A and B are shown apart, each in its own frame.
Chain A
Amino acid sequence: MSNTVKNRVIGVDIRMDHTTIAVVDQRGNILATDSFMTIDYQDVNNFMTVLSERIVTIAENNGGFENIRSVGISAPSSNYLSGCIENAANMPWKGVIPLAAMLRDRIGLAVALGNDAHITALGEHVYGAAHGMQNFVIVSFGHGGLGSCIYSNGLPYLGTSGSAGEMGHTCVESGGRQCGCGRQGCLETYVTDRGIVQTAKEMMAASAQPSMMRSLETLTSVAIAQCCEQGDELALEVFRKTGDYLGLGLANVASVLDPEAIILADLPDEVFKCLIEPTRAAFDKYVFRNIKDKVRLVVAGLNNNERDVLGAAALAWTVQEYSLFK
């Protein structure tokens, strides 16, 4: 029986375009990072080979592989309960991929897998804005959609089949915009980058009002937010409407869950600044009165580059230790 404690974990953040690997110690210090392009590997087996090589290399260069306790992975459409990526809409690998088991076989350490919203929440709970909170909701705007993760009584609530938190697909407008999921009027068709751009286009088409947005080459939510900062009326109206939808969606979740805070993550700073006031106003209008003024709407505490590797590292600490080499 060994008397030493392994004092490091590996956090892996797999995104559509690139993958980041970090060595993290017990206090959340990121000791080293490495990254490579996810999209270079159409075959998941090749991806796994590269990932495990990189993990071993970075571990050896930073205190040795024998000090690594476990590995945590953040990936879109992942199911913590099964350890698989399940039918990811935006990844090159189709079907159900048992990513955690594949990596464990290759590196001989315990591996835990979580989806991006779950990982974001873990990261914020352990190291960020949600530190010390028992009941809160993280709303994540990353990966082009709108995901969320609910903390109930101090633990993440994943739902009976692991798919809780699909806030982006709650209906805010009956018969509204067509969503990729097949339904109409889903919240995410209005409040994500793509939704904000569509709102801007619709507003420009509906009026002849002059606006700086008209001279933009490519419309993005950040560009629209920059127009707002210069006082562009139509751009402000775009965010007012977006905030109204977001406030309604958040208010309904808050009425049901009575959280301490709702934390908005992965939102560009410019967009957050323009969106927060109309969102707050709509939230107060729609939320149940008992809860009004009791729920904080805050921006995530960790920066967008670090949060997910830190969250993945936090997940790694929660999994039971296992090693082929003990």
Chain B
Amino acid sequence: MTSDYEFIGDFVAVLSEHIMRLAEEHGGYESIRSVGISVSSGNFKTGCIENAPNLPWKGVVPLAAMLRDQLGLAVALANNAYVMALGEQAYGAAHGMRDFILVSLGSGMGSCICCNGVAHLGSNGFAGEIGHTCVNPNGRECGCGKRGCLETYTAARGIVQTAVELMAESSEPSLMRQVEQLTPAIITQLCEQGDALAIETYRRVGYMLGVGLANYASVLNPEAFVFAGQVSKAGNWLLEPACESFEQHVFHNLQGKVKLVLSTIDDEVRNVLGASVLAWEVKEYSLFK
């Protein structure tokens, strides 16, 4: 458990022990080329975790350098969206694509842009903050301090809020009313059971998602958007209204040309595979050669 380690030093010590043991049990430490890490708020350019809101370690943590010191091997680190994109490009839905955007939908909304076959990380490594593009200047308040950010509509909390608003707007009976703690997964289940209000919830969410993605596509002309993360498990309940709204809002040159697809790999497998792609790409280095 990551959360068992309040101090990053302890965490790195345990992590390197685990890595060494696992390596020894599977072909020997000497055959390990390098290590790739996927972590939220990780910055590939600096190798640091930078001001992660959801991890116990505050400030800027030079995780890649710390692990390299412990292991004596090259270590690369990147944020989840980047690693997901690498995983999908190497082994999943984006295989063979040069220009695509991986959209990660979960408690927040992140993305990674792949341009000309390589990831576009931006000048400070912050590129891809699609969740914080503004879709409604007077819209919902976001944790980032702005209003109307796309993720206030399309990430987990926003979806629940949309459901709550819908229930308040009408007196229509709905199974959602009996649920104490609504989550996107529960709303999806209720969609499967034919609950009209639950379906309407995803229709509204999909509409906003389509608007946000259309603006993004008009600027970037990607081959596809690939969706990953928990919220994307809503599948067609979300994707169909999103596609419809996307086609309505995208620049006409691109109409019908951009694919919106779901990730084809299981979340955990993809992230580990993606991190391994990252590891293969970093320049080899060893203390022990």
Residues on A close to B: CB < 8 A?
A: 133-136, 148, 150, 152-153, 155, 157-167, 169-171, 174, 181-183, 248, 251-253, 255-260, 285-286, 288-291, 294
**What's the Cα separation between A292 and B222 when bound, in Å?**
26
Residue of B99, B116, B122, B144 with highest tally of chain A CB at under 10 A: B122
**Shortest Cβ distance from B49 into chain A, in angstroms?**
14
| Stretch of B54-62, B123-131, B164-172 with 4 or more beta carbons under 8 angstroms from chain A | B123-131
Residue of B98, B128, B218, B221 with highest tally of chain A CB at under 10 A: B218
Given the known A-B contacts A160-B222, A164-B221, A258-B122, are A289 and B134 also in contact in the complex, defined by CB atoms under 8 Å?
no
A165 CB contacts on chain B under 8 angstroms: 219, 221
- In contact, B129 and A288 (Cβ under 8 angstroms): yes
Residue of A161, A164, A288 with highest tally of chain B CB at under 10 A: A288
- In contact, A152 and B124 (Cβ under 8 angstroms): no
A-B contact pairs, 16 of them (CB 8 A): A135-B123, A150-B220, A160-B223, A162-B221, A165-B221, A166-B221, A171-B215, A248-B137, A256-B128, A256-B130, A258-B124, A259-B122, A288-B132, A288-B133, A289-B146, A291-B129
A256 CB contacts on chain B under 8 angstroms: 111, 113, 127-130, 133, 216, 219-220
**What's the Cα separation between A255 and B222 when bound, in Å?**
17
Mask, B129-151, CB within 8 Å of A = 1, is 11011101100000011100000
**Shortest Cβ distance from B138 into chain A, in angstroms?**
12
* Nearest B residue to A286, CB-CB: B134
Given the known A-B contacts A171-B214, A255-B129, A255-B133, are A159 and B252 also in contact in the complex, defined by CB atoms under 8 Å?
no
Given the known A-B contacts A162-B221, A257-B122, A257-B127, are A157 and B115 also in contact in the complex, defined by CB atoms under 8 Å?
yes
Given the known A-B contacts A157-B115, A291-B126, are A182 and B120 also in contact in the complex, defined by CB atoms under 8 Å?
no
- In contact, B219 and A148 (Cβ under 8 angstroms): yes
- In contact, A155 and B116 (Cβ under 8 angstroms): yes
Q: Does B269 contact A (CB under 8 A)?
A: no
- In contact, A294 and B123 (Cβ under 8 angstroms): yes
- In contact, A258 and B218 (Cβ under 8 angstroms): no
Mask, B244-285, CB within 8 Å of A = 1, is 000001011110010000000000000000000000000000
- In contact, A160 and B123 (Cβ under 8 angstroms): no
Given the known A-B contacts A170-B215, A255-B129, A289-B144, are A157 and B123 also in contact in the complex, defined by CB atoms under 8 Å?
no
- In contact, B115 and A181 (Cβ under 8 angstroms): no
- In contact, A174 and B211 (Cβ under 8 angstroms): yes
- In contact, B123 and A171 (Cβ under 8 angstroms): no
Q: Does B66 contact A (CB under 8 A)?
A: no
A164 CB contacts on chain B under 8 angstroms: 219-221
Given the known A-B contacts A255-B133, A288-B144, are A161 and B120 also in contact in the complex, defined by CB atoms under 8 Å?
no
**What's the Cα separation between A154 and B121 when bound, in Å?**
12
**What's the Cα separation between A260 and B122 when bound, in Å?**
8
A135-B122, A169-B218, A290-B129 given. 15 additional CB < 8 A pairs? A133-B123, A150-B219, A150-B220, A152-B113, A158-B221, A161-B257, A163-B221, A164-B219, A165-B221, A166-B219, A183-B252, A256-B128, A256-B216, A286-B146, A291-B126
Q: Does B19 contact A (CB under 8 A)?
A: no
A134 CB contacts on chain B under 8 angstroms: 123
Q: Give chain B interface residues in 72-119, CB to chain A under 8 Å.
A: 98-99, 111, 113, 115-116, 118
* Nearest B residue to A174, CB-CB: B211
**What's the Cα separation between A85 and B185 when bound, in Å?**
48
Given the known A-B contacts A171-B249, A183-B249, are A152 and B116 also in contact in the complex, defined by CB atoms under 8 Å?
yes
* Nearest A residue to B125, CB-CB: A258
* Nearest A residue to B216, CB-CB: A256
- In contact, B120 and A135 (Cβ under 8 angstroms): yes
Given the known A-B contacts A252-B133, A252-B134, A294-B124, are A289 and B145 also in contact in the complex, defined by CB atoms under 8 Å?
yes
- In contact, A171 and B124 (Cβ under 8 angstroms): no
- In contact, B120 and A157 (Cβ under 8 angstroms): yes
- In contact, B221 and A161 (Cβ under 8 angstroms): yes
**Shortest Cβ distance from B47 into chain A, in angstroms?**
17
**What's the Cα separation between A182 and B122 when bound, in Å?**
32
**Shortest Cβ distance from B86 into chain A, in angstroms?**
15
Q: Give chain B interface residues in 137-190, CB to chain A under 8 Å.
A: 137, 144-146
A183 CB contacts on chain B under 8 angstroms: 249, 251-252
- In contact, B98 and A258 (Cβ under 8 angstroms): no
**What's the Cα separation between A294 and B123 when bound, in Å?**
9
**What's the Cα separation between A115 and B123 when bound, in Å?**
25
* Nearest A residue to B251, CB-CB: A169
